[in-house]
Amino acid sequence: MLTDHVLLCLYPAVAAIVFHCVATLIYNTSFHHLSSFPGPVLARYTRLWLVCQTLRQRRHSVDVILHKRYGPIVRIAPNELLISDARYFKPIYGIGSHFTKSAWYRAMDHDAEDGFNLLAESNMKKYWHQRRLISPVFTTQELLQHENLLSKPLRRLVERIKIGLGKPQALVDWMNILSLDLLTEMTFGRSPDYIEQGHDDGNCAGIDRFWQHLSWIGLLPGYSDWYKYLQKWLAAIGIPLFYHPDTSKLPIIQFFLKEITGRKCGMRPTTASSGIAASMQKIQAAKPELKDQWANVMLLHVVGAGFDTIGTSLSMCLAFIYSTPDCCGKVLDELHTLNPTSQPAYEQLARLPYLEACIKESMRLKPIIGTSLPRSVPEQGFILEGRIIPPGTIVGMNPVVIQQDKGVFGDDAAVFRPERWLEANREQRGAMEFQSLAFGGPGRSCPGRNLASIILTKTVAEIVCHFDVTILRDDEALASGRPVYKEASFFVFKAYNIWARLEPRPDMGRVPEE
């Protein structure tokens, strides 16, 4: 009798749940404001379809397939659209756009009102205030004051690679290691010297776990909010899917904290040549409103959030240059015009058009972001294909897709061809440069893009000057007992297992000066 009574009480609740689910399915399919847009069937009903695709870490290729199958506007969640039409790039991402970052970014946002996170900040007034405070540190002119600090890590890398000449070497691993030493040297005037150790001490795997976690949990903002309160409990019972990686334990973060603490306590010298940290202190002296916390977090982002993306970009650029017929020869011809007896300065290298075109083309085809950059439609709504999209709807573009737009980059947009940047007239080149999300949208670009450009340019030139490189095909990698090339995207785009056989280049081989 008691059981029957309990069941009788449960019937209305179960019926209500079933009714709600059925009503939601019908609404999302036929009456929702996005119901007329095509897309995967499951994506109409639940965000879990998008979560599953993100967990597979293939958004950089899945989104390309979606647009080929469904067209320029694809519904990828009940309230989210993926767009590839170039007409909508400027309204969504352009300077002065009223579109704000979506709730996805809340997963990485700070809790304090006076915190600092330019990537996740949704308060545009606060964003621009903080951005203007730190911007003088990251101008090309200011960064070049510390250019000499890059020479030592580059010299060490050349010497270290020569130990394994003739044998297949892990290009991505070496570029990640180099990036760690370059960024710390450029920031503090010293580095952990991972190049000498020959490994990154687990930093890359640790930062990968961090991005893998954020990439999917950000898609469930309601869950991510209450998850913060359960984080310690979930970690204690060992549920890896729900575990939030603790990046504070990474060796590179520990190195950073020691440097910051040492400088604060006067244990580290701070001279005009000691890097970005010195520039930041100089700005703080002139602008007291630049708080210590904000300055330190920005420096942390330079070191901790930049090495893996720069490492991947370097690896892909070198792989393209050495795998494309005549490309390396053209870069060498330009470098020969400098007739360098020592490492050429960035200002010299920046005037080499083909080298610049190679870097632009590589960043176009393999941008550091492999998923869409979601934005929330503003209060005034948005007209899309003649239809009114209401406020709060999520829209976004994937850099991998829009940077291969044939209407902007030509019919061979999927091919690595640096010449397109040299052949384009001023208007065409401007259009190609504008339609880029390689460093975020024009209205929210990465403050470290000038630093990345300097490192990419100097490193690519240095490797090409010193080494003749053969990139192994997958069958050659397998034959030598090594894993084959693979790609992944968990917000950031990653490449793994690029194997390269390096030989010294006798005509230009040289060691950069200290």
**CA–CA distance, 200 with 177 (Å, rounded to integer):** 5
What is the average pLDDT across 391-419? Answer: 97
Q: What is the pLDDT of residue 300?
A: 93
Query: Cβ atoms within 10 A of the Cβ of 210, count?
Result: 20
Q: What is the pLDDT of residue 183?
A: 97
Q: In angstroms, what CA-CA distances link 231 with 109, 208, 216?
A: 15, 19, 15
First to last CA, the chain: 88
**CA–CA distance, 383 with 297 (Å, rounded to integer):** 38
What is the average pLDDT across 361-369? Answer: 97
- Tokens at 384, concatenated: 């899309």
For strands 80-83 and 394-396, give the pairing.
parallel
pTM for the model stands at 0.90
**CA–CA distance, 298 with 276 (Å, rounded to integer):** 10
Q: For the residues of 325-359, what is the DSSP string, one character each?
A: TTHHHHHHHHHHHH--SSPPPHHHHTT-HHHHHHH
Residue type, 41: V
Give burial (CB, 10 Å; 0-12/13-18/19+) of 320: buried
Q: For the residues of 293-310, what is the DSSP string, one character each?
A: HHHHHHHHHHHHTTHHHH
Query: Cβ atoms within 10 A of the Cβ of 169, count?
Result: 19
Q: What is the pLDDT of residue 263?
A: 74
- Tokens at 128, concatenated: 């621009």
Residue type, 167: K
Q: What are 369's strand-pairing partners?
A: 492
The yes-or-no verdict on residue 272 having pLDDT over 50 is no
In the chain the domains, ranked by start, together with CATH numbers, are 32-147+171-504 (1.10.630.10)
The yes-or-no verdict on residue 366 having pLDDT over 90 is yes
| Torsional sign, CA 257, 260, 265, 269 | positive
User: Over the stretch 106-155, which tens digit does the pLDDT of each residue have?
Assistant: 887 666 677 899 898 888 899 999 999 999 999 999 999 999 999 999 99
Q: What is the pLDDT of residue 87?
A: 94
Q: What is the pLDDT of residue 514?
A: 45
Q: For the residues of 43-96, what is the DSSP string, one character each?
A: GGT-THHHHHHHHTTBHHHHHHHHHHHH-SEEEEETTEEEE--GGGHHHHHSTT
What is the average pLDDT across 253-260? Answer: 92
Query: Cβ atoms within 10 A of the Cβ of 231, count?
Result: 13
Q: What is the pLDDT of residue 11?
A: 53
pLDDT band per the 50, 70, 90 thresholds, residue 228: low
What is the average pLDDT across 264-268? Answer: 62
Q: What is the pLDDT of residue 243?
A: 58
The yes-or-no verdict on residue 162 having pLDDT over 80 is yes
Any known ligand binding at 52?
A: no
Residue with tokens 């420096």: 299
The yes-or-no verdict on residue 395 having pLDDT over 90 is yes
User: Over the stretch 47-95, which tens digit does the pLDDT of each residue have?
Assistant: 999 999 999 999 999 999 999 999 999 999 999 999 999 999 999 999 9
Length of the chain: 514
User: Over the stretch 456-472, which tens digit does the pLDDT of each residue have?
Assistant: 999 999 999 999 999 99
What is the average pLDDT across 13-17? Answer: 53
The yes-or-no verdict on residue 1 having pLDDT over 70 is no
Cβ–Cβ < 8 Å for 228, 221: no
**CA–CA distance, 354 with 360 (Å, rounded to integer):** 10
Helix, strand, coil share of the chain (percent; to 5): 60, 10, 30
Q: What is the pLDDT of residue 511?
A: 44
**CA–CA distance, 155 with 465 (Å, rounded to integer):** 12
Residue type, 124: M
Give burial (CB, 10 Å; 0-12/13-18/19+) of 98: middle
Q: What is the pLDDT of residue 221?
A: 79
**CA–CA distance, 491 with 372 (Å, rounded to integer):** 8
Q: What are 438's strand-pairing partners?
A: 440
The yes-or-no verdict on residue 25 having pLDDT over 70 is no
Question: In percent, how much of the chain has pLDDT > 90?
Answer: 72
pLDDT band per the 50, 70, 90 thresholds, residue 321: very high
Q: What is the pLDDT of residue 416?
A: 98
Q: What are 467's strand-pairing partners?
A: 504
Q: In degrees, to the nearest 5, what angle opens at C-alpha 60 toward C-alphas 55 and 61?
A: 95
| Stronger pLDDT, 375 or 274, i.e. the higher one | 375
Cβ–Cβ < 8 Å for 376, 394: yes
User: Over the stretch 427-452, which tens digit does the pLDDT of each residue have?
Assistant: 999 999 999 998 888 888 899 999 99
The mean predicted confidence, pLDDT, of the chain is 88
Q: What is the pLDDT of residue 158?
A: 94
For the CA atoms of 340, 359, 119, 295, the dihedral, rounded to the nearest 10 degrees, stands at 0
**CA–CA distance, 148 with 144 (Å, rounded to integer):** 8
Burial 32-71 (b: 16+ CB within 10 A, else e): bebeebebbeebbbebebbbebbeebbbbebbbebbeebe
Q: What is the pLDDT of residue 507?
A: 62
User: Over the stretch 181-208, which tens digit does the pLDDT of each residue have?
Assistant: 999 999 999 999 999 999 999 999 999 9
Minimal CA–CA distance to 262: which of 277, 240, 276, 247?
Answer: 277
Q: What is the pLDDT of residue 320?
A: 98
